């Protein structure tokens, strides 16, 4: 459906009993969003202020937390507005932009975790070569690649979707994800194949790299003294927990879209 300005509005049909529990939903989500922003911003601020924390490991942690803030901001503000609105809708261009940010930042998360895994690998397994390998220039290049590589790849299907004709105007979700392709009058096999390739590039390959890197770390530390094993456990296990969390999120997102589940 379009209005006089030719703006196409998409109804977000994934909200459950939103009119009954809108204030409860709003309070809970607002509290979560505030905690995410405040906690991550505090740690980023501490890393920024203290020059002793300007090592690659802490820079990657700050980048990961910044990405988390951006990622949350892609979803939460619109969600909060929808809880207080009579109609849960979004214009198609903004929907595409939200979808672009959602998957770009999601891909960046995995690449940043890969960078952290590589940093830990060099630190623990090649400590003498660490200053030479992990220079400031290297860190900057890695960070730029982590954010730009997913964005460039996600931009292609999003740009093509902007020109697609819509026959359905109800999105089965509470925010814009790959379900937008279900709105198109004609499904594109090329876009589906490209989507799988992008998924492999920004998710599967980084996950395999992280698992391979941590396996090498654990094998080397297993043969080392207790102090080295303790250092590896303290730095690697939190990364693996974050990886597990995001891997679950991506798996859930893919299953929901592919199975067209409610």
Q: Domains in the chain and their CATH numbers?
A: 9-259 (1.20.1070.10)
User: Distance between CA 232 and CA 123 in Å, rounded?
Assistant: 10
What is the number of other CB atoms lying within 10 angstroms of the CB of residue 68? 19
Contact 81, 30 (CB under 8 A): no
pLDDT tens digits for range 92-148: 999 999 999 999 999 999 999 999 999 988 988 888 899 999 999 999 999 999 999
pLDDT of residue 23: 92
Q: At residue 1, does pLDDT exceed 50?
A: no
Q: At residue 85, does pLDDT exceed 70?
A: yes
User: Distance between CA 152 and CA 149 in Å, rounded?
Assistant: 5
Number of H helices, E strands in the chain: 8, 3
Q: Does 22 or 232 have the greater pLDDT score?
A: 22
User: Distance between CA 109 and CA 126 in Å, rounded?
Assistant: 25
Residues 154-162, mean pLDDT to the nearest whole number: 90
Residues 6+ away with beta carbon under 8 Å from 216: 121, 125
pLDDT of residue 44: 95
Core vs surface per residue 201-214: b (16+ CB within 10 A) or e: bbbeebbebbeebb
Residues 6+ away with beta carbon under 8 Å from 164: 184, 185, 186, 188
Residues 191-213, mean pLDDT to the nearest whole number: 88
Average pLDDT, the chain: 86
Strand 9-12 relative to strand 89-91, pairing: antiparallel
Q: At residue 191, does pLDDT exceed 50?
A: yes
pLDDT of residue 3: 43
Residues 6+ away with beta carbon under 8 Å from 97: 158
pLDDT of residue 7: 60
Q: Does 236 or 129 have the greater pLDDT score?
A: 129
Q: At residue 246, does pLDDT exceed 50?
A: yes
DSSP state, residue 50: -
When pLDDT is cut at 50, 70 and 90, the band that residue 2 belongs to is very low
Q: Environment class of residue 137 by beta-carbon count within 10 Å: exposed (0-12), middle (13-18) or buried (19+)?
A: exposed
When pLDDT is cut at 50, 70 and 90, the band that residue 259 belongs to is low
pLDDT of residue 4: 39
Q: At residue 262, does pLDDT exceed 70?
A: no
- Phi (first) and psi of residue 260, to 5 degrees: 50, 45
Tell me which residue has tokens 């505030």. Answer: 34
Residues 234-241, mean pLDDT to the nearest whole number: 73
Residues 152-161, mean pLDDT to the nearest whole number: 92
């Amino acid at each position: 459906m379009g209005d006089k300005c030719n703006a196409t509005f998409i109804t977000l049909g994934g909200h459950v009993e939103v009119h009954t529990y809108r204030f409860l939903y709003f309070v809970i989500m607002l509290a979560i969003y505030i905690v995410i922003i405040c906690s991550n911003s505090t740690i980023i601020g501490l890393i920024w202020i203290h020059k002793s924390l300007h090592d690659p490991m802490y820079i990657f942690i700050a980048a990961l937390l910044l990405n988390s803030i951006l990622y949350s901001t892609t979803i939460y503000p619109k969600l909060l507005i929808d809880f207080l609105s009579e109609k849960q809708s979004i214009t198609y261009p903004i929907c595409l932009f939200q979808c672009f940010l959602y998957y770009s930042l999601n891909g960046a998360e995995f690449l940043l975790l890969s960078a952290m895994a590589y940093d830990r690998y060099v630190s623990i397994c090649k400590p003498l070569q660490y200053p030479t390998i992990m220079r400031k220039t290297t860190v900057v290049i890695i960070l730029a690649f982590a954010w730009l590589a997913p964005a460039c790849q996600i931009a292609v299907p999003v740009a093509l979707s902007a020109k697609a004709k819509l026959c359905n105007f109800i999105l089965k979700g509470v925010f814009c994800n790959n379900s937008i392709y279900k709105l198109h009058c004609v499904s594109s096999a090329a876009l589906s194949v490209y989507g799988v390739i992008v998924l492999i590039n920004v998710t599967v390959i980084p996950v395999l790299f992280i698992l391979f890197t941590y396996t090498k770390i654990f094998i080397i530390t297993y043969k080392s003294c207790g102090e080295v094993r303790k250092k590896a456990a303290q730095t690697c296990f939190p990364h693996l927990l974050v990886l597990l969390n995001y891997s679950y999120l991506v798996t859930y997102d893919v299953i929901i879209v592919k199975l067209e589940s409610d």
